[in-house]
Amino acid sequence: MLITQYLNSETIKLVVATSSFILLLVIVFFIYKYLFLFLRKRIFVKAGKFTTFLLDFLRIPALWAFYWVLLKIFTYIFLSNYPFYPVLLHINTLLIIFSITWIVMQLVKAAAYYLQHKLDIGVVDNLTARKRLTQIKVLVGIANSIVIIIAISVGLLTFKEARAVGVSLLTSAGILGIVVGFAAQKSLGLILAGIQIAFTQPIRIDDVVVVQGEWGRIEEITLTYVVVKIWDERRLILPVTWFLENPFQNWTRSDSAIIGSVFFYVDYGFPVESIRGVLPGMLKGNSNWDERIWNVQVTKTTEQYKEVRILLSSSDSSKNWDLKTEMMEKVIEFIHGNYPDAFAKIRIKEG
């Protein structure tokens, strides 16, 4: 008699229902995993890298969204008579909202991936590709911010106490109120600066810049900060507003081609024409020289020496650096081998 009462109790029913639900989740997981592998091997691989990438991106968030739907159905059927049912139902609704948010953000990432792989940034003339890549990076941040704001607003709508706040966030008046309320805040100023950089583009992804005396490339641009990869692998991180408020050098603003200078200080007796005679041979066949410009000139004179400048052009700054160091070595060897006494000297007058 006691056993019958125990088996008929609400507790044992709840335990059986919960165990059955967990078993169902496990079964769904294996079915989902098998279906995913089947699609990946039989269908999506043939469709191309992007479709496979999209499937990988959505695999986990889609599974969790499906789990939360099953949980909502389970709580409605088996737990609707329990006093904690409204709380559990509310939590489950929030989980579904944020799972959908997760899926939408993954779709934004997938769209960015698709657009980025249509851009060939590896070509020599990659200015257009770098422009588009910079805009994509910033727009992804904007889109994710909007999705998160909408998700939080919808989540607030599920609370009676905060429903007014949620409604105001979703209305134009509410959005305007947020903008006005934060207009004086530095954080919003950074975001607006990030948007401005995305479209006016004083800098772009992979631009070569000289910032605060450091030479490097723009590695990342977000809504709030910019990462500069310095030549020695260090990272210089600056707020986006810095690039709108301070002067800096951009060596690839409109073109990656560049002209570099090499200086030598030699005695007045050194024949400059000798360098003009041997420099074309030194440059011939050098992959770092783009065959546009070479020039040798005396650019300065003092009581002790004359300054000789060699101009050399390359398709980008990295090649130009290698070219300058190589030519510096060769010219020094040439002067030392042919005019060993021609380097600048300090002359001391005898009293």
Average of per-residue pLDDT values in the chain: 77
Region label for 210, one of left (φ > 0), alpha (ψ between -120 and 50) or beta (otherwise): beta
206 closest CA partner among 221, 222, 187, 186: 221
Determine the Cα–Cα distance for residues 268 and 344; give it in Å rounded to an integer: 8
Identify whether the C-beta of residue 231 lies closer than 8 Å to the C-beta of residue 146: no
Domains in the chain, ordered, with CATH?
A: 10-118 (no CATH), 151-253 (2.30.30.60), 258-338 (3.30.70.100)
Determine the Cα–Cα distance for residues 326 and 318; give it in Å rounded to an integer: 13
Residue 48 in this model has a pLDDT that exceeds 70:
no
Strand partners, 209: 216, 250
Lowest mean pLDDT among 98-112, 169-183, 265-279, 291-305: 169-183
Percent of the chain with pLDDT over 90: 17
Note the pLDDT of residue 256. 73
Identify whether the C-beta of residue 210 lies closer than 8 Å to the C-beta of residue 249: yes
Residue 317 banded pLDDT, cuts 50, 70, 90 = confident
pLDDT in tens, 53-84: 666 666 777 777 777 777 777 777 776 676 76
Give kind and range of the element (H or E) at residue 172.
Answer: helix 172-182
Tell me the CA distances in angstroms from 41 to 13, 45, 63, 106, one per residue in order: 42, 6, 19, 22
Strand partners, 114: none
Q: What is the DSSP letter of 9?
A: S
Buried b (16+ CB within 10 A) or exposed e, 148-161: eeebbbbbbbeeee
Strand-pair category, 235-239 with 225-230: antiparallel
Identify whether the C-beta of residue 197 lies closer than 8 Å to the C-beta of residue 138: yes
Note the pLDDT of residue 186. 58
Identify whether the C-beta of residue 254 lies closer than 8 Å to the C-beta of residue 238: no
Determine the Cα–Cα distance for residues 275 and 306; give it in Å rounded to an integer: 14
Structure token digits, residue 13: 């029913």
> Could you tell me the pTM of the whole model?
0.49
Tell me the CA distances in angstroms from 208 to 116, 202, 239, one per residue in order: 20, 12, 18
Note the pLDDT of residue 309. 94
Determine the Cα–Cα distance for residues 198 and 329; give it in Å rounded to an integer: 42
pLDDT mean over 225-232: 89
Nearest-Å Rg of the Cα atoms of the chain is: 33
Residue 155 banded pLDDT, cuts 50, 70, 90 = confident
Determine the Cα–Cα distance for residues 94 and 152; give it in Å rounded to an integer: 10
pLDDT in tens, 189-202: 666 777 777 777 78
SS3 content of the chain, % helix, strand, coil (to 5): 60, 15, 25
Note the pLDDT of residue 308. 93
